[in-house]
Amino acid sequence: MDRFGVHTTSFKFRMTGMVACFAFAASAGVATIALGFAESGIKNMLGAQEVSMVASAAAYVDQDLDAKQQQLKAVTERLPLGEAPSPARLQTLIEEHSSLRDTFFNITIFDMSGKLVANLNDRRAVGTINVASRPFFRDTVRLHEGVISAPFLSLLSNKPVVVVTEPITDMHGRLLYVIAGAIDLQRPSFAGQIDAMYNGTSAHLFIMSREGVVIYHPDRSRILSRVDAASRSWGPELNHALKASPGWSEGPSINGPALIASETLHKTEWIIGAAYPVQEAFAPLLASRHKAMAASGVVAVLAALLGWWLTWRMLRPLSQLRSHVAQITAGNANIEVFNAKTRDEFGQLSRAFYKLSMQRRAAEDDLLRMATTDALTGVHNRRMFDEILPQAVARAGRNRSNLALALLDVDYFKTINDTLGHAAGDAVLVEFARRLRSCVRLTDTVARLAGDEFVIIFEQVDDTGMVSQLGEKILEAMQAPFQVEGKALVVTASIGIAVKTRTAAAPLEILRAADQALYGVKAAGRNGFALNTVGQERVVAIEPSLEGQAA
């Protein structure tokens, strides 16, 4: 309790009590050593948190770029097979996909000579430029697959951009065109999410290429600048991150000494980094150090013994804080230990760590959810399915149990998109996914692979009879008309089910067997399911839906 207006719980009061009884040399030495140990432990913890935050941001940017590539690929897959589409058809195609404007700054299509044949932002620009010499065009033509370009200044918009490309081929695999989606580096889609990680602090994130070209920076005028000797005046933290190995270290920044963490993006090998000023990160601790050193100048030499005892008592909260850091690092405690109730500066410092840790956990949870969930339907995405299937196969092998994998396609989905529009197609996919979740067991896994292609992993299935019941249940769930934009729409599904018995089988073998069964259903007229036992290399049963049998 405070007495006579003096804050007896404050660190300043305790330090004043110590310096009144402790010799100058002893007080300064003890305070410096104790705070040095604490700073070292806290610095290691903050550095580890910085690395975790940067790794989470890297995963989010990787996922964002992958989603953009998948969206471009989905556009190319909607082109009809057969003869090469005309430039006018390509212009119409990109203008019909309104979602492209939300994802990209601009969409362009080039023929094999590099000539611009379609432009989403301005049709008048068609034929005005040629990109045959651009590395992104040459790489796409050479590799016959999509690439993510290095940053450059756009000829069309005079803006700094990164380009995501996909090849457009005919039914024989012959390359016809290259479609490119431009990302405006002054307003990238991932900026809001990664900037929110350090909201309220002077810390900042940056992204640069392996060659040192700035891709993202809080100062937009620095984009496309090259990190070299001259950049030390405005971005010494970028120079440090470019030379350092992934991880964290202490180095210079535009705001003074900083904890600098960096990580490499898997998809592009770009370097993403963060600089957290040391003065801000250690503000409570540095304030305590200054108070201790100032008070040490007026201590009495004769009170050395009493000062030692007071120092031990006063630094016990700091020792507890260091102990909490060590326990969390070793995995023996959670961040709740930082939520201290004490009112002094050590309590404030501990609660500051607690708040920072909670923000990091929330950011990691959000990034994990976005990285593993299909944004449209809410079921698992392809990335999560690729992780779950090998685990399910391994469990089935350990338990010597059966496993089934179902591949599902919405029948005539392209016709729905072409006749009713993509908004109606998206509504069908959402309802289709909802019905799938409602008719499977809690132990089953539902995921969307791409477009109208879904997959279900059935674990712990007794025999093919049980699998047939599950297939019939799914078909039955789809019989009720879908209500799309006020219209009743009949939607059916084709299902190929692969059954893995107790014999060993790789995930790719199971997928291949399911795909073979799905092909059999489509060949038999769709709207049904087929069973295929993994390893038999043949479809063992094709069952049309009850509705199909009645017809």
* pLDDT for position 551: 40
Domain co-membership, 406 together with 533: yes
The whole-number average pLDDT for the span 237-259 is 88
Domain co-membership, 390 together with 526: yes
Residue-by-residue DSSP string for 220-240: GGGTT-B-SGGGGGT-HHHHH
Closest CA to 242 of 277, 283, 270, 279: 270
Between CA 529 and CA 496 the distance in angstroms is 6
For the chain, the domain total comes to: 4
Residue 215 resides in a domain: yes
pTM: 0.48
Q: Which residue in 452, 462, 463, 515 is the catalytic one?
A: 452
Between CA 505 and CA 236 the distance in angstroms is 53
Domain co-membership, 157 together with 246: no
Q: What is the pLDDT of residues 112-134, one digit of tens each?
A: 999 999 999 999 999 999 999 99
Q: What is the pLDDT of residues 164-192, one digit of tens each?
A: 999 999 888 889 999 999 999 988 877 77
Residue 5 resides in a domain: no
Closest CA to 50 of 192, 211, 263, 237: 263
Tokens linked to 75: 């556009």
Residue 63 resides in a domain: no
Tokens linked to 522: 């489509």
* pLDDT for position 5: 54
Which structural domain, as residue segments, surrounds residue 490? 382-550
Q: Is 67 exposed, middle or buried (0-12, 13-18, 19+ CB in 10 A)?
A: middle
The whole-number average pLDDT for the span 13-42 is 66
The more confidently predicted of residues 362 and 272 is 272
Domain boundary, last residue among 371, 394, 413:
371
Contact yes or no for 379/476 (Cβ under 8 A): no
| Confidence band of 287 (pLDDT split at 50, 70, 90) | low
Domain co-membership, 425 together with 538: yes
Residues in CB range of 391: below 8 A, 6 or more apart:
none
| Confidence band of 264 (pLDDT split at 50, 70, 90) | very high
Domain co-membership, 394 together with 498: yes
Domain co-membership, 255 together with 286: no
Domain co-membership, 76 together with 99: yes
Specify the 3-state DSSP secondary structure of 380. strand
Residue 3 resides in a domain: no
The more confidently predicted of residues 13 and 112 is 112
Residue-by-residue DSSP string for 466-530: HHHHHHHHHHHHT-SPEEETTEEE---EEEEEEEE-SS---HHHHHHHHHHHHHHHHHTTSSEEE
The yes-or-no verdict on residue 549 having pLDDT over 50 is no
Specify the 3-state DSSP secondary structure of 42. helix
- The reply to whether 365 belongs to the active site is no
Contact yes or no for 510/499 (Cβ under 8 A): no
Domain co-membership, 139 together with 170: yes
> 116-121: which pairs have CB atoms within 8 A and are 24 or more residues apart?
117/87, 117/90, 117/91, 117/177, 118/87, 118/90, 118/91, 118/93, 118/94, 119/91, 119/156, 120/94, 120/95, 121/156, 121/157
* pLDDT for position 482: 94
Least confident piece of the model among 58-67, 329-338, 422-431, 506-515: 329-338
DSSP alpha helix (H) spans, 82-205? 87-96, 99-103, 135-143, 191-196
Residues in CB range of 53: below 8 A, 6 or more apart:
197, 198, 261, 274, 360, 363
Domain co-membership, 399 together with 502: yes
Residue 297 resides in a domain: yes
Q: At 94, which CATH number?
A: 3.30.450.20
Q: What is the pLDDT of residues 405-442, one digit of tens each?
A: 999 999 999 999 999 999 999 999 999 999 999 999 88
Q: Which position has the token pair 């918009």?
A: 157
Contact yes or no for 223/185 (Cβ under 8 A): yes
Any idea of the CA torsion for 115, 120, 121, 127, to the nearest 10 degrees?
Answer: 20
Residues in CB range of 75: below 8 A, 6 or more apart:
93, 94, 97, 100, 166, 179
